[in-house]
């Protein structure tokens, strides 16, 4: 098979001075609670996460508060206090780097109830003088709606640990958008949330915008931030793809390992609302080390390599998938020896036309396409062909494509 490298121009709008912007945004909120203030950290892959967290903590301290970090990631990393602390530290957020203590616990306090069950909050957060919710606003991997991943979901699922995660995911997928808002309203009305700091990233995953929101405005203003996110969100430059090869999957790239909004497939029974792209077959070759063995979303692929299969921590993956209820996302696809065998078998079954190779679903500025797609991709004003078509080659069973 002959392939050609493609450079895709994405939206680039990085903030020049992230620390200064954090402080400017928080200045607009007025004085913080005078006591201990919890800062949520949990989502992977956020650019400048350490700098943003440290700057927020420094601002709080300068204004008379005593900040601390709370790992807030629902059921992730084995749903243990130790695992969640280890995860935030793997993101670079340590007591030394952010200048404040980390308090990790799976102990929660019941705040109230909604039709699907109880709503909980991390005990350290509940007992603080107030919570500054920090998270990136982006499209969700399970459902669509006016509010998806962001401040509200961090309050509901992240801070509620596995207990609120179970309540939220017990909701049928089409109703998740409504339940998220209902649970979020209950938490805001509890008076435990002081404010939110929303992060928007551009097409190159750079910090593009920061928005500090008073607690009372989080639910009303987050939909507009999600719409702004759509203008930054990177996508594949093709609507019809025969074979998609994802070099690496993992939670560092998406909550489901591969972002359904990129691959066009949610893997949620009875709820497939993504129209484009149409992808016939998907292969995944590696699991990111930063995912710590959590391979949620592996079931979105049709073929995987043995090295990906061997990297899976089945317990961590099960806990995460079982909490969401979308069990198909944990199913192990057909497993073959290496990249070469996976691609050979896919070519044998699906042919050589309309192939796309990407590094992961988060970084889409560089990709490779089969030679038959060169003219179509070159016609896209945001794409540029790099070099001439070349043979797809392998060394020790691994492809030699550079991303």
Cβ burial 272-288 (10 Å sphere, 16+ → b, else e): eebeebebebbbbbbbb
Give the pLDDT of residue 319. Answer: 87
The total of other beta-carbon atoms located within 10 Å of residue 270's CB is 7
How distant is the alpha carbon of residue 285 from its chain centre?
19
Give the pLDDT of residue 47. Answer: 92
User: Does residue 77 have a pLDDT over 70?
Assistant: no
Distance CA 100, CA 91 (A): 15
Give the pLDDT of residue 148. Answer: 85
The total of other beta-carbon atoms located within 10 Å of residue 105's CB is 16
Q: Please report, rounded to a whole number, the percentage of residues in the chain having pLDDT higher than 70.
A: 98
Residue 18 sits at the vertex; the CA angle it makes with 37 and 69, to the nearest 5 degrees, is 25
Closest among 170, 175, 134, 168 to 154, alpha carbons compared: 134
How distant is the alpha carbon of residue 26 from its chain centre?
25
Mean predicted confidence (pLDDT) in 203-232:
96
Give the pLDDT of residue 176. Answer: 84
Give the 3-state secondary structure of residue 172: coil
Q: What is the pLDDT of residues 35-72, one digit of tens each?
A: 999 999 987 779 999 999 999 999 999 999 999 999 88
Torsions phi, psi of 393, nearest 5? Answer: -120, 165
Closest among 344, 395, 387, 394 to 369, alpha carbons compared: 387
Mean predicted confidence (pLDDT) in 241-269:
90
Q: Are 127 and 118 in contact (CB under 8 A)?
A: no
Give the pLDDT of residue 74. Answer: 65
By mean pLDDT, which of 41-45, 224-228, 256-260 is the weakest?
A: 41-45
Give the 3-state secondary structure of residue 250: coil
User: Does residue 304 have a pLDDT over 80?
Assistant: yes
Question: What domains, with CATH codes, occur in the chain?
Answer: 2-10+235-399 (no CATH), 31-232 (3.40.50.11440)
Q: What is the pLDDT of residues 158-179, one digit of tens each?
A: 888 888 888 887 878 788 888 8
Give the pLDDT of residue 149. Answer: 85
By mean pLDDT, which of 23-27, 234-238, 281-285 is the weakest?
A: 234-238
Q: Are 147 and 220 in contact (CB under 8 A)?
A: no
Give the pLDDT of residue 272. Answer: 67
Torsions phi, psi of 347, nearest 5? Answer: -65, -40
DSSP 155: I
Give the pLDDT of residue 42. Answer: 81
pLDDT band at 79 (very low <50, low <70, confident <90, very high): low
How distant is the alpha carbon of residue 56 from its chain centre?
22
Question: At a CB cut-off of 8 Å and minimum separation 6, what does 13 contact?
Answer: 202, 206, 208, 209, 232
Give the pLDDT of residue 281. Answer: 97
State the chain's mean pLDDT as an integer: 92
Q: Please report, rounded to a whole number, the percentage of residues in the chain having pLDDT higher than 90.
A: 73
Distance CA 210, CA 27 (A): 13
Closest among 212, 214, 200 to 26, alpha carbons compared: 212
Q: What is the pLDDT of residues 104-162, one digit of tens each?
A: 888 899 999 988 888 899 999 999 999 999 999 998 877 788 888 899 999 998 888 88
Strands (E), 220-359: 240-249, 278-287, 303-305, 334-336, 355-358
Type and span of the H or E element at 366? strand 366-370
How many angstroms separate the Cα of 154 from the Cα of each of 49, 100, 180, 250? Answer: 15, 20, 10, 19
Q: What is the pLDDT of residues 340-392, one digit of tens each?
A: 999 999 999 999 999 999 999 999 999 999 999 999 999 999 999 999 999 99
């Amino acid at each position: 098979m002959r392939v050609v490298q493609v450079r895709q121009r994405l939206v680039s709008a990085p903030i020049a001075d992230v620390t200064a912007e954090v402080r400017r945004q928080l200045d607009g909120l007025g004085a913080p609670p005078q006591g201990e203030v919890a800062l949520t950290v949990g989502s992977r892959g956020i650019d400048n996460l350490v700098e943003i967290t440290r700057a927020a903590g420094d601002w709080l301290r300068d204004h008379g508060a005593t900040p601390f970090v709370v790992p807030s990631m629902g059921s992730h990393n084995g749903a243990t206090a130790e695992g969640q602390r280890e995860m935030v530290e793997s993101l670079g957020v340590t007591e030394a780097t952010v200048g404040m203590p980390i308090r990790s616990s799976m102990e929660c306090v019941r705040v109230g109830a909604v039709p699907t069950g109880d709503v909980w909050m991390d005990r350290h957060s509940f007992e603080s003088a107030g919570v500054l919710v920090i998270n990136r606003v982006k499209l969700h991997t399970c459902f669509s709606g006016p509010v998806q991943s962001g401040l509200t979901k961090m309050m509901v699922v992240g801070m509620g640990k596995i207990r609120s995660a179970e309540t939220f995911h017990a909701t049928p997928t089409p109703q998740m958008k409504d339940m998220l808002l209902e649970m979020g309203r209950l938490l805001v009305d509890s008076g435990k949330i002081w404010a939110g700091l929303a992060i928007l990233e551009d097409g190159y995953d750079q910090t593009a915008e920061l928005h500090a929101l008073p607690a009372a405005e989080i639910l009303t203003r987050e939909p507009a931030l999600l719409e702004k996110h759509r203008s930054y969100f990177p996508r594949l430059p093709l609507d019809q793809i025969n074979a998609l090869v994802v070099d690496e999957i993992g939670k560092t790239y998406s909550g489901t390992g591969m972002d359904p909004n990129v691959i066009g497939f949610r893997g949620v029974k009875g709820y497939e609302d993504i129209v484009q792209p149409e992808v016939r077959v998907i292969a995944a070759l590696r699991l990111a080390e930063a995912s710590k063995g959590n391979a949620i979303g592996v079931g979105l692929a049709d073929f995987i390599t043995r090295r990906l299969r061997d990297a899976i921590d089945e317990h961590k993956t099960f806990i995460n998938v079982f909490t969401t209820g979308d069990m198909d996302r944990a199913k192990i696809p057909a497993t073959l020896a290496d990249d070469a065998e996976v691609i050979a078998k896919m070519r044998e079954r699906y042919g050589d036309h309309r192939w796309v190779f990407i590094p992961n679903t988060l970084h889409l500025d560089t990709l490779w396409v089969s030679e038959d797609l060169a003219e179509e991709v070159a016609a896209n004003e945001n794409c540029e062909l790099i070099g001439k078509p070349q043979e797809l080659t392998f060394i020790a069973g691994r492809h030699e494509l550079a991303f």
